[in-house]
Amino acid sequence: MLRQVEGSKAIADVVAACKPQVICAYPISPQTHIVEGLSQLVKNGTLTGCEFINVESEFSAMSVAIGSSATGARTYTATASQGLLYMVEAVYNASGLGLPIVMTVANRAIGAPINIWNDHSDSMSQRDSGWIQLYAENNQEATDLHIQAFRIAEEMSLPVMVCMDGFILTHAYEQVDIPEEPEVSKFLKPFVPRQVLDPAEPVSIGAMVGPETFLEVKYLAHQRMIDSLETIQEVGVEFESQFGRDSGGLLKSYKCDGAETIIIALGSIIGTLKDLVDEMQVQGHSIGLVGLTSFRPFPFDQLRQAVTGAKRVVVLEKALSTGVGGIVTADVRTSLRGTQIKDFTLIAGLGGRSITMKSLKEYVLRAMNDSVAELTFLDLDVNIVESELAKERALR
Partner 1 sequence: MEKPYAITLNVGSSLANHTGTWRVEHPEYVHRMPPCNNACPAGENIQNWLYIAEDGSYEAAWRELIKENPFPAIMGRVCYHPCQVACNRAELDEAVGINSVERFLGDHAIEKGWKIDPPDHETGFSVLVIGAGPAGLSAAYHLRRMGHTVVVRDATHAPGGMMRYGIPQYRLPRNILDAEVNRIKEMGVKFEFDTRVDDVHDALNEGFNAVFLAIGAQLSKRAYIPASESARILDAIKVLHDVEDGNQPLLGRKVVVYGGGNTAMDVARSAKRLGAEEAIIVYRRTRDKAPANDMEIEEALEEGILMKWLSTVKHAEGGSLQIEKMELDESGFPQPTGEIEYLEADSLILALGQEVDFSLLGNSADIDTKDGVMPVDHTMMTTHPGIFAGGDMIPADRTVTTSIGHGKKAARNIDAWLRMTTYEKESDKPVVAFEDLNTWYYTDAPHAVRERLEASRRVQDFSEVVKGLDESTALYEARRCMSCGNCFECDNCFGVCPDNAIIKLGPGKGFEINMDYCKGCGICVSECPASAITMISEV
Partner 2 sequence: MTTTPVKFYQVGSFAVGNRLLTEEERSGQSNPDRANALTSGHRACQGCGEALGARYALDAAMRAANDQIIAVNATGCLEVFSTPYPESSWRIAWLHSLFGNAPAVATGVAAALKAQGRTDIRVVGQGGDGATVDIGFGALSGMFERNDDVLYICYDNEAYMNTGVQRSGATPPAARTATTQAVGEEPGNTFGQGKFLPRIAMAHEIPYVATATIADLRDLEAKVTRAMEFRGARYLHVLVPCPLGWGSASCDTIKIARLATQSGLFPVFEAVNGEVVASTKIRHKVDVEEYLKLQSRYAHLFSPTRREDVISHLRRMADKNIARYELMGE
Cα–Cα dist 350/320, whole Å: 8
To the nearest whole angstrom, how small is the minimum distance from the Cβ of residue 96 to partner 1? 7
Name which of partner 1, partner 2, none residue 216 binds, using a CB cut-off of 5 to 8 Å depending on partner kind: partner 1
To the nearest whole angstrom, how small is the minimum distance from the Cβ of residue 211 to partner 1? 12
Is 250 a binding residue for partner 2 by CB under 8 A? The answer is no
Cα–Cα dist 272/355, whole Å: 9
> DSSP secondary-structure letter at 189?
P
**Which helix H or strand E contains 261, and what residues bound it?**
strand 261-265
Tell me whether strands 132-135 and 160-165 are parallel, antiparallel or unpaired.
Answer: parallel
What is the amino acid identity at position 220? L
Name which of partner 2, partner 1, none residue 194 binds, using a CB cut-off of 5 to 8 Å depending on partner kind: partner 1
Is 66 a binding residue for partner 2 by CB under 8 A? The answer is yes
Cα–Cα dist 22/24, whole Å: 7
Is 235 a binding residue for partner 2 by CB under 8 A? The answer is no
**With CB under 8 A as the contact rule, which of the stretches 23-31, 59-67, 82-90, 212-220 interacts with partner 1?**
212-220
Name which of partner 2, partner 1, none residue 98 binds, using a CB cut-off of 5 to 8 Å depending on partner kind: partner 1
Least Cα distance to 277 among 374, 373, 372, 361 occurs for: 361
What is the amino acid identity at position 116? I
To the nearest whole angstrom, how small is the minimum distance from the Cβ of residue 222 to partner 2? 19
Is 7 a binding residue for partner 1 by CB under 8 A? The answer is no
The dihedral region occupied by 26, where left means phi > 0, alpha psi between -120 and 50, and beta the remainder, is: beta
Instruction: Indicate the residue among 56 and 392 with the shorter CB distance to partner 2.
Output: 56
**Contact pick of 114, 209, 226, 324 for partner 2 (by CB under 8 A):** 209
Is 207 a binding residue for partner 1 by CB under 8 A? The answer is yes
Is 199 a binding residue for partner 2 by CB under 8 A? The answer is yes
Q: How far apart are the first and last CA of the chain?
A: 62
To the nearest whole angstrom, how small is the minimum distance from the Cβ of residue 240 to partner 2? 31
Residues 6 or more apart whose Cβ sits within 8 Å of residue 8: 30, 31, 32, 33, 34, 36, 37, 106, 170, 171
Is 216 a binding residue for partner 1 by CB under 8 A? The answer is yes
Is 157 a binding residue for partner 2 by CB under 8 A? The answer is no
**Contact pick of 21, 157, 281, 339 for partner 1 (by CB under 8 A):** 157
Q: Write out the binding residues for partner 1, residues 259-288 only, by CB under 8 A.
A: none
Cα–Cα dist 379/346, whole Å: 10
Is 139 a binding residue for partner 2 by CB under 8 A? The answer is no
Cα–Cα dist 142/65, whole Å: 21
Least Cα distance to 149 among 241, 59, 249 occurs for: 249
Q: Write out the binding residues for partner 2, residues 19-48 only, by CB under 8 A.
A: 21-22, 24
Q: Omega of the bond prior to 106 within 30 degrees of 0, cis?
A: no
Cα–Cα dist 351/365, whole Å: 25
Residues 6 or more apart whose Cβ sits within 8 Å of residue 207: none
Cα–Cα dist 257/276, whole Å: 16
**Contact pick of 205, 380, 389, 390 for partner 1 (by CB under 8 A):** 205
**Contact pick of 207, 382, 394, 395 for partner 2 (by CB under 8 A):** 207
**With CB under 8 A as the contact rule, which of the stretches 47-55, 121-129, 197-205, 261-269 interacts with partner 1?**
197-205
What is the amino acid identity at position 76? Y
Is 162 a binding residue for partner 2 by CB under 8 A? The answer is no
Report the SS3 class of residue 246: coil
**Contact pick of 29, 32, 39, 63 for partner 2 (by CB under 8 A):** 63
Residues that contact partner 2, how many (by CB under 8 A): 43
Q: Write out the binding residues for partner 2, residues 77-96 only, by CB under 8 A.
A: 89-90, 93
Instruction: Indicate the residue among 72 and 309 with the shorter CB distance to partner 2.
Output: 72
**Contact pick of 97, 116, 330, 365 for partner 1 (by CB under 8 A):** 97
> Which stretches of the chain bind partner 2, using CB under 8 A?
21-22, 24, 49-51, 53-57, 59-61, 63-73, 75, 89-90, 93, 97, 197-199, 202-210, 213
